[in-house]
Amino acid sequence: ETRVGDITDVFREMRPISLIVAGDSYIYFGDLEPLFAAMAEGVVGPAGYVIFTMENVGPESEKTLRETKPDWRWQLTASGRFAHRREYVESMAQAHNFIVIHYEPMDSFRYESGVGVQGHIFVLQKQALP
């Protein structure tokens, strides 16, 4: 079934969801709070999983951001997409009852104008509510 609309609404409408796979989709969100809230409502636990990729900044930008803005969570890039800090994504997962069961940095997982884009992949599992 094809759905058109805001992904946060779709996650709520389609519940219960057992698996979400999103490649190069969440890079259009800066603040991840609404997205994670919707996933938390839609994904059934503990059998529910979310797998997604995110962009990250390169090593030089990471160093500059850590020095100038140590608490940075996301950064709008020149491409108009957002790069997200690993720790921010992990904190959003924890705040919304997900555990990170796999994380992997991805060096040049996609190329844009001949330049490798830095990223990471996350695999989350919904925790059972106590």
Q: Which pTM value belongs to this model?
A: 0.91
3-state DSSP: the chain helix, strand, coil percent, rounded to 5? Answer: 30, 35, 35
Closest among 15, 18, 20 to 52, alpha carbons compared: 20
pLDDT digits (tens, 9 = 90+) for 30-72: 999 999 999 999 998 788 999 999 999 988 888 999 899 989 9
Q: Which among 103, 77, 76 has a CA at the least distance from the CA of 90?
A: 103
